Amino acid sequence: MSAYGLIGLSLDHSFSPAFFRQFFIERGLSNHSYSSIEIKDGEELKRFFSTSISQYSGLNVTLPYKEAVMPFLHQLDPIAQSIAAVNVIKVGTGLQLKGYNTDGPAFLDTLKEWDLPEMGFALVLGNGGASKAVQWALNQMDYTYSIVNRGVSKETIEYAHLQKRLVEKASLIINTTPLGMYPKVKECPPFPFDGINSTHKVYDLIYNPEKTLFLQLAEAKGARIKNGHEMLEKQALLSWKIWQQAE
């Protein structure tokens, strides 16, 4: 029996358990299981790593534990190190735990079909975990970018100070905030949509709803749009690849 699972909080509507259960059925992997592992706080996380980790061959990690799991791991893949967040754990021989990040590579892969200009400029809305994965991908593409976020900070621009000329300069705009995610589908980052036109590619990492208000407003201005579903599938498939790799 090979057991896999997703560590996180409020996992009722998570994508990975349903995805992997179907994945195992389609491949006839009847001796594989995938469970939701609801963890309510840091104490419970610690207990999980000391008492339950031996039951698993691999794990996915979601909010709010992508950083919190790092002290429990023995090794970090260089991409996870660079993004400073882990969404995949491989449980190796002797319970050696190695952490990976597949969000960054998955996002990068989904950009291929968009035929983006080389060494362009992007705007990244939000500066949390997913934003760090997106920033890693933009660095791989030799893109420059500005980060737009609420609140005042040296490294980010406030929404209210985002100028139209910066929006016009961007080839790619990515929403990495949870604004607009089900059930709060009427929410949207306070973005100046006036600067958007048909040359823009606008990406929202949210996958539920399929078309967030942010994507609807960008599409109405002529932009090409993409939601987070493809990235989600790709990061899951990359997790599987990691778990199958020989040590």
By beta-carbon proximity to ligand NAP, the closer residue of 33 and 156 is 156
Please identify which of the residues 40, 46, 66, 241 carries the catalytic annotation. Answer: 66
From candidates 5, 235, 238, 243, binder to ligand NAP by CB under 6 A:
235
171 and 120 Cβ atoms separated by less than 8 Å: yes
By beta-carbon proximity to ligand NAP, the closer residue of 92 and 208 is 208
92 and 58 Cβ atoms separated by less than 8 Å: no
Active site residue 169: no
Residues numbered 49-88 forming contacts with ligand NAP, rule: CB under 6 A:
63
Distance CA 130, CA 120 (A): 20
Q: Which residues contact 114 (CB under 8 A, 6 or more apart)?
A: 172, 201, 224, 226
232 binds ligand NAP (CB under 6 A): yes
209 binds ligand NAP (CB under 6 A): no
Edge-first strand order for the sheet with 58-61 is: 32-38, 2-8, 58-61, 88-91, 97-100, 75-76
From candidates 5, 34, 86, 103, binder to ligand NAP by CB under 6 A:
103
Q: Which position's Cβ is nearest ligand NAP?
A: 128
125 and 176 Cβ atoms separated by less than 8 Å: yes
149 binds ligand NAP (CB under 6 A): yes
Task: Give me the sign of the Cα torsion angle 177, 225, 147, 68.
Answer: positive
By beta-carbon proximity to ligand NAP, the closer residue of 170 and 179 is 179
What's the helix, strand, coil split of the chain in %, to 5?
40, 20, 40
Question: Segment near ligand NAP (CB under 6 A), from 42-50, 76-84, 135-143, 224-232?
Answer: 224-232
Nearest approach, Cβ of 239 to ligand NAP (angstroms)?
11
**Structure letter (DSSP) for residue 234:** H
List residues with catalytic annotation.
66
Chain residues binding ligand NAP by CB under 6 A are 63, 103, 126-131, 149-151, 176-179, 181, 205-207, 228, 231-232, 235
